[in-house]
């Protein structure tokens, strides 16, 4: 099988998808924005051919590059694993008659109000939502649903650009900000109270073959706005043993079928609270912030190869062991500036070193990154443990013990 893979070089774990495809027996052809001279020797060896384009989100340039490739090779699949790449990739697939997740399914995953409408029609509970193009439409939705509300770019990813508003004045300020940024259409939705997590899968022909459940502590919007919090997300190893996940898994399968995602990785965000389970964001791509690496470590499997086997062979013999819960704690600098040092690291290592998977502590003098840049923006540590609750306690302790100092 000949597979085109979009942007094999950046971010760094993109190379693992290429590796998985090669080990599954595929001939891999890359298209990306970086010249192959920047690639490490393994990546250069894995790629049978590579095309450089000015932007992998430029559908015209991508279509031209794929057609050049098709003049030389039969192309069985074209795969993209980054949120912003998925819709251009689907459009190129359609233009070049390559199988894969359709433009319609990919568009639904990007256009939040339309996606939620399809899910509601399939019996999947979601927050009330609307796409609005004017302040009058936003106010009409607010009058019907009430405050608080969530306001975000219509095609946003995760918490990017997301604002919680609790009054008409706050809604007007948010709308003015989006207007100043050139956002011409936004999604407004009911604020759903509850605990937030995510449900990630690998699907084959609309059937979930692998699934993983993770929890946010605290919810993303709070985590990305509050400096003193050392936020975590934790992947549970109780997916098949805890009855609380049965509804999540059943509805997750309904999501995949309703959207017609086909054979792909998926990322679904959910809330559970007083109104029960609600699905939020849906993506036809893997999760970000290297969550797949946590799944691999917790389940003693090569998840990139499992994905590749799904693409190339329609399945795999690997099975998740569910041996460990895994998680990451993000460690924020105490202010913006430059990192000046750390405290508590040696003590944390002494307490929990045997369970540490890896950690990242930028060198003193490194410029800090804004807290809204995410879990991997500054310092972090990732751990695993056979017991989920024990792991949660470890991550909590590290978050309080280890301090990142800046000046």
Q: How far is CA 386 from the centre of its chain?
A: 25
Do the domain assignments include residue 107?
Answer: no
Last residue of a domain, one of 190, 205, 231: 190
Please tell me whether residues 256 and 350 are part of one structural domain.
yes
332 three-state secondary structure: coil
Residues in the chain where the model's pLDDT stays below 50:
none
pLDDT in tens, 264-280: 999 999 999 998 999 98
pLDDT in tens, 3-59: 999 999 999 999 999 999 999 999 999 999 999 899 999 999 999 999 999 999 999
Spatial distance between the Cα atoms of 134 and 184, rounded to a whole number of angstroms: 9
Do the domain assignments include residue 92?
Answer: yes
Spatial distance between the Cα atoms of 45 and 48, rounded to a whole number of angstroms: 7
Judge contact between 351 and 397, C-beta under 8 A. Answer: yes
Please tell me whether residues 186 and 250 are part of one structural domain.
no
Question: Of 229, 303, 220, 297, which Cα lies nearest the Cα of 265?
Answer: 303
Please tell me whether residues 174 and 96 are part of one structural domain.
no
- E strand map for 218-338: 232-235, 264-273, 276-283, 325-331
29 three-state secondary structure: strand
> Phi and psi of 283, rounded to 5°?
-130, 140
Q: Left, alpha or beta for 105 (phi > 0: left; psi -120 to 50: alpha)?
A: alpha
Q: Count of CB atoms within 10 A of residue 143's CB?
A: 9
Do the domain assignments include residue 110?
Answer: no
* Distance between first and last Cα of the chain: 53
Q: Count of CB atoms within 10 A of residue 288's CB?
A: 19
Q: Count of CB atoms within 10 A of residue 207's CB?
A: 13
Domain containing residue 70: CATH number: 3.40.50.20
> For position 231, what pLDDT does the model report?
97
- Considering only the C-alpha atoms of the chain, give the largest distance between any 2 of them, rounded to a whole number of Å: 60
Please tell me whether residues 204 and 172 are part of one structural domain.
no
Spatial distance between the Cα atoms of 56 and 41, rounded to a whole number of angstroms: 23
Please tell me whether residues 24 and 152 are part of one structural domain.
no
Domain count of the fold of the chain: 3
> For position 57, what pLDDT does the model report?
97
Please tell me whether residues 179 and 202 are part of one structural domain.
no
Spatial distance between the Cα atoms of 197 and 202, rounded to a whole number of angstroms: 17
> For position 299, what pLDDT does the model report?
98
For the entire predicted model, the pTM comes to 0.91
Sheet containing strand 276-283, edge to edge, reads: 276-283, 264-273, 195-204, 207-217, 232-235, 325-331, 379-385, 356-360
Please tell me whether residues 242 and 204 are part of one structural domain.
yes
> For position 157, what pLDDT does the model report?
54
Q: Give the H or E element holding residue 405.
A: strand 403-406
Spatial distance between the Cα atoms of 124 and 276, rounded to a whole number of angstroms: 12
Domain range for 79 is 2-100
Spatial distance between the Cα atoms of 116 and 123, rounded to a whole number of angstroms: 11
Domain containing residue 330: CATH number: 3.30.470.20
Last residue of a domain, one of 190, 210, 234: 190
Please tell me whether residues 164 and 269 are part of one structural domain.
no
Do the domain assignments include residue 66?
Answer: yes
Among the residues of 111-162, which ranges form H helices?
112-121, 135-145
Q: What angle do CA 7, 291, 286 make, to 5 degrees?
A: 45
Do the domain assignments include residue 168?
Answer: yes
Please tell me whether residues 132 and 279 are part of one structural domain.
no
Last residue of a domain, one of 51, 82, 100: 100
Please tell me whether residues 181 and 260 are part of one structural domain.
no
The sign of the CA dihedral 257, 261, 262, 265 is: negative
Domain containing residue 135: CATH number: 3.30.1490.20
Contacts of 238 (CB under 8 A, 6+ apart): 245, 322, 325, 388
Contacts of 289 (CB under 8 A, 6+ apart): 233, 328, 374, 375, 376
Do the domain assignments include residue 229?
Answer: yes
> For position 148, what pLDDT does the model report?
93
349 three-state secondary structure: helix
Pairing type for strands 264-273 and 232-235 reads unpaired
Please tell me whether residues 53 and 160 are part of one structural domain.
no
Please tell me whether residues 241 and 256 are part of one structural domain.
yes
Judge contact between 88 and 65, C-beta under 8 A. Answer: no
């Amino acid at each position: 099988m000949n597979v085109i893979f979009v942007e094999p070089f950046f971010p760094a774990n993109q190379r693992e998808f290429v590796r998985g495809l090669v080990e599954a027996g595929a001939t891999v052809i890359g298209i990306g924005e970086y010249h192959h001279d920047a690639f490490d020797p393994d990546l250069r060896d894995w790629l049978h051919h590579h095309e450089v384009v000015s932007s992998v989100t430029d559908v015209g340039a991508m279509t031209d590059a794929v057609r050049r490739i098709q003049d030389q090779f039969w192309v069985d699949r074209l795969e993209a694993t980054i949120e912003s790449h998925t819709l251009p990739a689907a459009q190129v697939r359609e233009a070049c008659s390559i199988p894969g997740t359709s433009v319609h399914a990919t568009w639904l995953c990007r256009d939040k109000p339309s996606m939620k409408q399809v899910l509601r029609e399939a019996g999947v509970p979601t927050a009330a939502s609307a796409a609005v193009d004017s302040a009058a439409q936003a106010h009409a939705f607010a009058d019907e649903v009430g405050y608080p509300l969530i306001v975000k770019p219509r095609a946003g990813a995760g918490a990017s650009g997301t604002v919680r508003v609790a009054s008409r004045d706050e809604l007007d300020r948010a709308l003015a900000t989006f207007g100043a940024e050139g956002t011409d259409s936004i999604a407004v939705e009911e604020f759903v109270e509850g605990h937030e997590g995510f449900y990630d899968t690998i699907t084959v022909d609309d059937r979930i073959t692998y699934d993983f459940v993770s929890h946010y502590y605290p919810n993303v919007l709070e985590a990305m706005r509050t400096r003193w919090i050392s936020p975590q997300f934790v992947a549970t190893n109780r997916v098949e043993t805890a009855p609380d996940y049965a509804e999540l898994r059943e509805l997750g399968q309904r999501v995949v079928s309703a959207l017609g995602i086909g054979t792909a990785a998926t990322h679904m965000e959910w809330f559970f609270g007083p109104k029960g389970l609600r699905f939020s964001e849906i993506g036809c791509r893997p999760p970000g912030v290297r969550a797949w690496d946590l799944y691999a470590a917790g389940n003693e499997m090569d998840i990139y190869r499992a994905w590749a086997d799904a693409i190339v062979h329609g399945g795999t013999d690997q099975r998740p062991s569910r041996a460990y819960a895994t998680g990451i704690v993000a460690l924020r600098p105490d202010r913006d500036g430059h990192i000046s040092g750390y405290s508590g690291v040696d003590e944390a290592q002494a307490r929990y070193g045997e369970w540490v998977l890896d950690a990242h502590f930028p060198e003193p003098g490194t410029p800090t990154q804004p807290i809204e840049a995410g879990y991997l923006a500054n310092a972090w540590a990732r751990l695993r443990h056979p017991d989920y609750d024990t792991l949660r306690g470890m991550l909590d302790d590290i978050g309080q013990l280890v301090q990142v100092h800046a000046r």
